[in-house]
Amino acid sequence: MRRQVGKLDLVPRPPRYRVGDRVMVRFGARDVVAEVIEDRGPIGHGGEQIVRVSMPLDDDETFEFEVSASRASPADSSQATNVAP
Amino acid sequence: MPSQSLLRWRNEGLGALDEIEAAHAAIGGTGRGRRYATQQVNQAYVVLLSSRFQAFCRDLHSETVAEIIRAAPPGYALPLQGLTAGRKLDHGNPNSGNIGHDFTRLGMDIWADVYAMHARNQRRRELLDEMMEWRNAIGHQDFNKPRLRGRKTILLKEVQQYRSSCDALAAFFVRAALDHIHGVAGATAGW
């Protein structure tokens, strides 16, 4: 049997970042370049996009965390993975 | 403004589960053939319910962290971002232990919080973990679990009870998370 779910709607908003994009995020006292590895969808404040990003710590290890789209900016392709303060 | 996680659960999540129920109702025939077909649907229903509830719990965790970060001074970005690293809900089932573990990292005792809101939430937690037993048994096709008491088939009404329980827990989790956000980031923070 089919049930009417209701009239609630997610705020429709085109995603700012896609999987594979390189973004600059504030990480402590410095800005770092990270890669978007998952679009978590519009689950942030007011329907803002949240993305999961991966940041290399060294040759073997990465650090993955989530960030709101407004706290990231597109990284220039020429920028190194980790950027000095 | 409501929680985006709850909106997604109520719309996308429950909408997908409605499709499964529609598929169950659409199965024709009678007798053993129909019982076999509906059992496959019931088992798929348990697995889908589990994955959708996992997505909700993970979304709510992310949403809660984002709201706390939003209210925090910029210098706190580093430790707060770490709250979404290495979560159990990123890879594991939404059993009560994994949910409790991940929200503990935010300073919450989510089960104690929802117990305090409604006495029936203890029973809902038991049902959630019972559902996880079914989910694992179905996923691995290993029904030799004490909690299943030798059963290999699950009834539609049982899955519907699990679903109802998950939906109630979702609403209580959102209330608990919002109370926590208000506590750490102020009364105007949150959704």
The answer to whether position B66 is within a domain reads yes
CA B19 to chain centroid, in Å, comes to 18
The answer to whether position B190 is within a domain reads no
What is the model's pLDDT at position A81?
57
The answer to whether position A62 is within a domain reads yes
The answer to whether position B124 is within a domain reads yes
pLDDT at A79 over 80: no
A65 touching B, CB under 8 A?
Answer: yes
Look up the domain containing B20 and give its range: 4-185
Three-class SS of residue A51? Answer: strand
The answer to whether position A29 is within a domain reads yes
What is the model's pLDDT at position B180?
97
Indicate the range of A5-9, B108-112, B164-168, B184-188 predicted with least confidence. A5-9
Contact A42, A51 (CB under 8 A): no
Give B33's pLDDT tier (boundaries 50, 70, 90): confident
Scan for tokens 């649907």, then name that residue.
Answer: B41
The answer to whether position A46 is within a domain reads yes
The answer to whether position B139 is within a domain reads yes
Min Cα distance B142 → chain A (Å) is: 30
Min Cα distance B32 → chain A (Å) is: 22
Residue range A48-66, pLDDT digits in tens: 999 999 998 888 899 999 9
Number of domains in chain A: 1
% of chain B beyond a pLDDT of 90: 80
Look up the domain containing A66 and give its range: 22-74
Helix B156-185 vs helix B14-26: crossing angle, to nearest 10: 180
The answer to whether position B142 is within a domain reads yes
The answer to whether position A13 is within a domain reads no
The answer to whether position B25 is within a domain reads yes
The answer to whether position B191 is within a domain reads no
Q: Which residues of A touch B84 (CB under 8 A)?
A: 52, 65-66
The average confidence (pLDDT) of chain B is 93
Give B27's pLDDT tier (boundaries 50, 70, 90): confident
Average pLDDT (A60-76) is: 92
Query: Could you give the CA distance from residue B184 to residue A42 in angstroms, rounded to a whole number?
Result: 23
What is the model's pLDDT at position A83?
47
Query: Could you give the CA distance from residue A43 to residue A50 in angstroms, rounded to a whole number?
Result: 6
Residue range B50-62, pLDDT digits in tens: 999 999 999 999 9
The average confidence (pLDDT) of chain A is 82
What is the model's pLDDT at position A84?
44
Contact A50, B51 (CB under 8 A): no
pLDDT at A29 over 80: no
Q: What is the ipTM of this complex?
A: 0.80
The answer to whether position B130 is within a domain reads yes
Scan for tokens 């909690």, then name that residue.
Answer: B147
Q: Give pTM, 2 decimals.
A: 0.88
Count CB neighbours of A64 within 10 A.
18
Show which of residues 60-89 on chain B sit within 8 Å of chain A, judged by CB atoms. 62-63, 65-67, 69-70, 74-75, 77-78, 81-82, 84-86
The answer to whether position A10 is within a domain reads no
Average pLDDT (B44-49) is: 97
Number of domains in chain B: 1
The answer to whether position A7 is within a domain reads no
The answer to whether position A8 is within a domain reads no
